[in-house]
Amino acid sequence: MSRPTFTPAMPTTRPHTLIALLQDRPGVLHRTVTLLRRRGFNIVSLAVGRSEVPGVSRMTLVVDTADATQVVAQLDRLVEVIGVSDVTRERAVERETALAKVVGLHHTLHAVATIAAEHGATIVDQDHESIITEIAGTPEQVEAYLAAIRPHRIAELMRTGRLAMQRGRTPMVLEAPAHYRAQADGAPAEEEAA
């Protein structure tokens, strides 16, 4: 008689949205992604760009994990990371942009144009055989629009990845340090001032 085997329940994963400030230097993004890959974290979305302070980039990262505490701790270990915060349960504005191309006959392109208007998408290019639309909104709005045009066979799709910003005052962990702000206001760098 065999015994029933006990299989521990796997923790359920869900997307966590993180915002990080990084030094704007060559290789920082590569080191960040490599660190997360080595630890086995699945990156769902990644968007990085210059911030309001020269020399500092702001990154929005969506990872699929049961607990983002380890992700935050690992990122905080990188020298080039100025600060990182999990905003999944915070009051935050989240947006995404997508470009979608559909190729087809006139009736297909007309149907996509109608769906685009219904969803608040913009037609950015159209000719006799294709239409390119742009949608910007919450991740849910982008998903709903793409689901609506998917039956018309999307030929090409490009998404920006999620952008996020906390509402209200910027938390201290996501503010650039004073020496970065001083340089942005025209003060010499510390090594130049000495």
Q: Which two three-digit tokens encode residue 59? A: 């990154």
Q: What is the mean pLDDT of residues 100-110?
A: 96
Is the backbone of residue 122 left (phi > 0), alpha (psi -120 to 50) or beta? beta
Query: Per CATH, which fold does 14-92+166-181 belong to?
Result: Alpha-Beta Plaits (3.30.70)
Q: Tell me which residue of 27, 26, 23, 59 sits closest to 180, measured CA to CA.
A: 23
Q: What is the mean pLDDT of the chain?
A: 88
Query: What pTM does this model have?
Result: 0.78
Does this chain's domain 14-92+166-181 share its CATH topology with 94-163?
A: yes
pLDDT at res. 188 = 54
CATH code of the domain occupying 94-163: 3.30.70.1150
Q: What is the mean pLDDT of residues 35-56?
A: 90
Between 11 and 34, where is the model more confident? 34
The angle that helices 106-119 and 139-149 make with each other, rounded to 10 degrees, is 160
pLDDT at res. 52 = 87
CB 21 within 8 A of CB 56: yes
pLDDT digits (tens, 9 = 90+) for 115-160: 999 999 999 999 999 999 999 999 999 999 999 999 999 999 999 9
Q: What is the mean pLDDT of residues 173-191?
A: 61
Distance CA 4, CA 148 (A): 46
CB 141 within 8 A of CB 119: yes
Q: Tell me which residue of 114, 118, 100 sits closest to 154, measured CA to CA.
A: 100
pLDDT at res. 54 = 87
Return the number of other C-beta atoms located less than 10 Å from residue 135's C-beta. Answer: 22
Q: Where do the domains of the chain lie?
A: 14-92+166-181, 94-163
Burial class (CB in 10 A: 0-12, 13-18, 19+), 181: middle
